[in-house]
Chain A
Amino acid sequence: MSSIRRFAITRLLLTIPMVFFLLTLIFVTMRIIPGDPISALLGEHIPEEYYQQYRVSFGFDKPIYVQYIDFLMDVLQFRLGGSSAGTRSFITNRPVVVEILERWPQTLELSLLSIVLAVVVGLATGIVSATHVGKKVDRIIGLGSLFGYSLPLFWTAMIMQLVLGVWLKILPVAGNSDAAIRFARVTGMPLLDAFLSGDIEAISSVARHYVLPVISMAYFSIVTIQRIARTEMVRTLHEDYIMTARAKGLRENMVVYKHAFRNALLPTLTIIGIQFAGLLGGTIVTETVFSLPGLGRLTMDSILWRDFPTIQGCVVFYALIVGICSFIVDLAYALIDPRVRF
């Protein structure tokens, strides 16, 4: 078996305990933390028999370890809402899994676009500032990243909505397409579907609607990636082999891109992976501000409505995604750096 395969399988096996731990964490948070979800849901003053009814239907009357096993079994069988309360959302009465899977593509598309933007801009600015350390460009970029680091996501999103959407009327404020546009839902990803439908108006409409949300989500990652890329590049550029390459007479461009960059990429990659998981958290706010029909908004709405099966389902789903992400990052790491594949 090739070493990559072996590594992949080992990593996969390690990911499982990780997801398992996350699920346990979620379970603990939901069940063991003091506070009564039922009265939070129904209000303080309810007749005793309703209270008991809900308790039974949630499975709260069973011992904790039984609830735990039930929880895990539910996840394994993709009954993400938990079977005791029915796997259906309180609000729409549809299975939680269906609701999640319906909205997931929108979130995925948004996150992918954001991470691509973040990586491109972040790496570019990181390299530029690393190759011009201490000069004006570096300082400006550094200042910009400090600013970006301190900006609250929701505020920036709102301000952009205000300035660009309301005052200047350049970009749309909310939603993912104009009201009159219709296109076939193939994958569930609005931009992709618009492309597939071939309707120019639809494509441009979705694209315009995406500008603000994607920028909002991306800038924090841009800043982080830029910092890491810069640090790593600066560190790499001081290594001996760079001096060798220059002594050999290689053009500066080649030195920078082919040698330094590749080696600086590694730690940056891990950070990128972590950023993607963090983006998921960002989608909650972004989708709420821009009224996009994605998983983040589902999570938010279900929390506002105290729709526990959906809340549980969403959070469990996030845990799975985080596990998958971390696995992909590790795999990419191994693909790039042969030393890692033990």
Chain B
Amino acid sequence: MIMGVLFFMAAFCYQISPYNPLELNPDRMLEPPSSDHLFGTDTLGRDVLSRTITGCRYSLSVAIIAVVGALLIGASAGLVSGYMGGKLDRIVAMMMDSWFAFPTIVIAMLIVVFLKPTYVNTALAVMLATVPRYFRTIRSLSLTLKTRTFVEAVKSIGARDTYVMWHHILPHTIPTVIVLMTLQIPASILSIASLGFLGIGIPPPIPEWGTDLNVARAFLIAGHWAPSFFPGLFIFLSCLGFNLFGDGISRMIGTTVERV
């Protein structure tokens, strides 16, 4: 089931959509789903299906960028901080805890507002907002790992700290990192879509699920449900897919990652 959803997702990511998602077609605005346009058309006559499919590419790529970036920053900081320990570690940890407690959307919003809303900035915003999560997990892992015997053994041979961190502790964090990344992707997708929904994410005419939902919202009350329904459905499905996949991996590897 997990793999099924995942393959489904991977497949449609790279599909080329039937219509050009940017092409305007003002004659056919706000149509309900029909055989021509499977998901109907949106406010400017664009095919919703195409936009949904292409939107996948954008939403997903931004999410992956944000996750990888945050991971690099947060995990390396966590690794070092946990290993080094001491006062510096405690201070940094406290700072990260505060950062963690603050709602991610607000941080992301703040960053996007002060930079222009663009593709890159949205990725940056979500990235910076989620750094503390990686930091915390990796740091606690680092803390437990450094007390293990093999670390003591290596150090007693005279290994330098950097060597120990890089060659010994880091490999042991990899399974957790993988699970964390997989589980954070849906969270990032949601954050990006939220920003788009609020109107401060990736700007139009780039199809992004959240932004499309925002535009479609105005017409919801009038009863045109298609443009509001499908992008959101796909957000849901992709999140579901990644969550399932992450759960599957975590069960395979045998680690648990805190999910707050």
Q: Which A residues form the contact surface with B (CB < 8 A)?
A: 14, 17-19, 21-22, 25-26, 29-30, 33-35, 37, 40, 146-147, 149-156, 158-159, 161-162, 166, 173, 224, 227-228, 271, 274-275, 277-278, 280-282, 284-285, 288-289, 299-300, 303-304, 306, 311, 315, 318-319, 322-323, 325-326
* Cα(A151)–Cα(B194), bound, Å: 12
Chain B 214-230 interface residues, beta-carbon cutoff 8 Å to A: 217, 220-221, 223, 225, 228-229
Q: Is the CB of A25 within 8 A of B99?
A: yes
Q: Are B113 and A306 in contact (CB under 8 A)?
A: yes
Collect the chain A residues with CB atoms within 8 Å of residue B223's CB: 166
Other A-B contacts than A21-B94, A29-B110, A319-B102, 11 sampled, CB-CB below 8 A, are A25-B98, A34-B115, A35-B114, A158-B220, A158-B228, A159-B229, A162-B220, A275-B260, A299-B109, A303-B198, A322-B103
With A146-B240, A158-B228 as contacts: A315 and B106 at CB distance below 8 Å: yes
Residue of A nearest to B235 (CB): A152
- Residue-wise interface mask of B (235-257) relative to A, using a CB-CB cutoff of 8 A (1 in contact, 0 not): 11101100110010000000000
17 A-B pairs in the complex with CB atoms less than 8 angstroms apart:
A18-B94, A22-B102, A29-B114, A33-B111, A35-B116, A146-B244, A151-B239, A152-B190, A152-B235, A152-B239, A158-B217, A161-B220, A227-B259, A277-B102, A284-B106, A311-B113, A318-B103
Asked whether any CB of chain A lies closer than 8 Å to the CB of B95, the reply is: yes
A267 to chain B, nearest CB (A): 10
Q: Separation in Å of the B70 CB from the closest CB of chain A? A: 15
Alpha-carbon separation in the docked complex, A127 to B259 (Å): 18
With a CB–CB cut-off of 8 A, which chain B residues contact A285?
105, 194, 197-198
* Dominant SS among interface residues on chain A: helix
Let me know if A224 and B225 touch, CB within 8 A.
no
Tell me if B110 and A26 are in contact (CB < 8 A). yes
Residue of B110, B231, B239, B244 most packed against chain A (CB within 10 A):
B110
**Nearest chain A residue, comparing its CB with the CB of B108:** A281
Q: Which residues of A contact B217 (CB under 8 A)?
A: 158, 289
A152 to B232, CA, bound (A): 7
- Residues of the A chain whose Cβ atoms lie less than 8 Å from the Cβ of B126: none
Q: Cβ of A228: which chain B residues have Cβ within 8 Å of it?
A: 260
What is the bound-complex CA distance between A17 and B92, given in angstroms? 12
How big is chain B's contact interface, by range? 35 or more
CB contacts (< 8 Å) of A151 on chain B: these are: 236, 239
Binding site of B, secondary structure by majority: helix, strand, loop or mixed? helix
Minimum distance in angstroms from A108 CB to a CB of chain B: 15
Residues on the B chain within 8 Å of A289, using CB: 217
Q: Is the CB of B114 within 8 A of A284?
A: no
**Docked pose: A278 CA to B244 CA in angstroms:** 23
CA distance A26 to B111 in the complex (A): 9
B213 within 8 Å of A (CB atoms): yes
B200 within 8 A of partner (CB): yes
Separation of A322 and B97 alpha carbons in the complex (Å): 11
Residues of chain B lying within 8 A (CB to CB) of residue A150: 186, 236-237, 239-240, 243
Q: Report chain B residues within 8 Å CB of A19.
A: 98
Q: Identify the closest chain A residue to B104 (Cβ).
A: A281
Residue on A with the closest CB to B209?
A152
CB 8 Å contact bits of B189-200 with A (1 = contact, 0 = none): 010011001111
Residues on A with C-beta less than 8 A from B102 are: 22, 25, 277, 318-319, 322
Is the pair B98, A21 in contact by a Cβ cutoff of 8 Å? yes
In whole angstroms, how far apart are the Cα atoms of A152 and B188 in the complex?
A: 11
The answer to whether B206 has its CB under 8 Å from any CB of chain A is no
A36 vs B28: C-alpha distance when bound (angstroms): 41
In the bound complex, what is the Cα–Cα distance between A282 and B104 (angstroms)? 10
Q: Are A154 and B103 in contact (CB under 8 A)?
A: no
